[in-house]
Amino acid sequence: MSPMLTLLISLVILNYLVESLIKILNYRESKKPLHPTLANLYSESEYRRSLQYSQANFALSIINSTYSIIIMIVALAAGLFGKVDSFVRERIQSEILIAILFFAIIGLVSDLLDLPFDIYGTFVVESKFGFNKTTPATFLFDKMKGYLLAGGIGGALLALIIFIYQETGGAFWFLGWLLLSLFSLVMFMFGTTLILPLFNKLKPLEEGELKEEILKYCAKEGYSIGRLFVMDASKRSSKANAFFAGLGKSKTIVLFDTLIEKLSTREIMAVLAHEIGHYKRKHTLFGFVLSITQSLAIFAVLGWALRFPELSTALGSDVKSFHLSILAFFIIFSPLSFALDLITNSISRRNEYEADQFAKETYDGEPLKSGLITIATDSLANLSPHPLAVKVYATHPPLLQRLTALD
């Protein structure tokens, strides 16, 4: 076994062990008595259901990740990625087509191996606790549309990136980053109206009390309403949410129909004020700039790493190839990616506090608090996550901390 292959397998195992430890700590923390501020949010029966829901998701996650790590180690040790590369090379000459077909095979096989867990999570766990609204037909069509999008958009992007790599050599890292940044900008500005409608129906908010309140609030705050949609989230899940996307004239707020169903008008207004707070405080713009800045750093390191043929040979190939090198690179990059996630998630949690304060200052903190409580308890959320799990994975602060900050 080569030193590079040993490093790849070691990093895969290390990543699995760290993630498993955090999951175990988080699950154990969820079983501790709730903080007095939260203790009365669940009835005794609902609290038991929340614990059962946490247990079911924890068990599924541990089994899934263990299954995945075993397959990954076997694939690395047996040189299966190199064998797939050889299989494709025997039939195709173009390096661009070889890479596209290689990733198509790897992606499809990976998704099919995870399919039993997706089905169990959706149709057993989520259904058992009353959240799933997805029909088998919707599940299947979502998969097919996902494959088509990945093949069409992902394949085109990959082809352009490899073409740039072949034609520019040393300048690849910057030009490749520039291409990806332009694509990200298009998705950031217009993804909600270009991609989301392929999966969900978006319709303008109907006339009525809620819309009148929204228009009045936006006029007071000098916020041009932009596009305000209601999404039929209830076709897949009963959980409630809302989100903000885009900038300038493309800015869009999407309210889940489940949110409108479960929250009062004042609570919905407070949630919407929170989303507008993200725009007013320039969180969305800063998040996009941070994302492409991180991508620049990653592409710069990738451009340097691609010079080493050991990345390809470690995966079982005798030929230096762009796609195998990328696959090996992102395994090696995982510790740095972990560190970057710590930073971006910390910034995201800070932004959530600022958006909460904006809603409190410009509308009212009390309906925001009650709305957050309803969203959390209705989805049987873990109200006492482990601090380490929050730091590593959480983009939003725990409910207790948000309520405390609003007070």
Count other Cβ atoms within 10 Å, centred on residue 318.
11
Give the percent of the chain with pLDDT over 70.
100
Q: In what order do the strands lie in the sheet with 227-231?
A: 202-204, 227-231, 252-256, 242-245
Asked if the model's pLDDT at residue 387 lies above 80, the reply is: yes
Average pLDDT over residues 96-116: 95
Q: What is the overall mean pLDDT for the chain?
A: 92
What pLDDT, on the 0 to 100 scale, is given for residue 376? Answer: 92
Confidence of residue 207 (pLDDT cuts 50, 70, 90): confident
Cβ atoms within 10 Å, residue 26: 22
| φ/ψ bin of 268: left (φ > 0), alpha (ψ from -120 to 50), beta (otherwise) | alpha
Q: Is the pLDDT of residue 214 over 80?
A: yes
Alpha-carbon distance 313 to 315, whole Å? 5
Q: How many CA atoms within 13 Å lie on the side-chain side of 110?
A: 14
Mean pLDDT throughout 119-131? 95
> What pLDDT, on a 0 to 100 scale, did the predictor assign at position 248?
73
Task: List the single range of 143-147, 226-230, 234-238, 266-270 with lowest mean pLDDT.
Answer: 226-230
**pLDDT score of 78:** 94
pLDDT tops 90 at residue 250: no
Concatenate the DSSP letters of all residues of 348-368 into one string: HHHHHHHHHHHHHHHT-HHHH
Q: Per-residue pLDDT tens for 39-95?
A: 888 888 889 999 999 999 999 999 999 999 999 999 999 999 999 999 999 999 899
For residues 101 and 81, what is the distance between their CA atoms, to the nearest angstrom? 12
Window from 9-13, 19-23, 205-209, 396-400 with minimum mean pLDDT: 205-209
Residues ≥6 apart with Cβ < 8 Å to 112: none
For residues 339, 344, 346, 348, the Cα torsion angle rounded to the nearest 10 degrees is -160
Q: How far apart are CA 301 and CA 289, in angstroms?
A: 19
Q: In whole angstroms, what is the distance from residue 85 CA to residue 317 CA?
A: 7
Q: Do the beta carbons of residue 194 and residue 168 sit within 8 Å?
A: no
User: Is residue 267 within 8 Å of 367, Cβ to Cβ?
Assistant: yes
Average pLDDT of the segment spanning 240-251:
78
Separation CA 328–CA 76 (nearest Å): 10
β-strand pairing of 252-256 with 227-231: parallel
Q: Give the mean model confidence (pLDDT) for residues 118-132.
A: 95
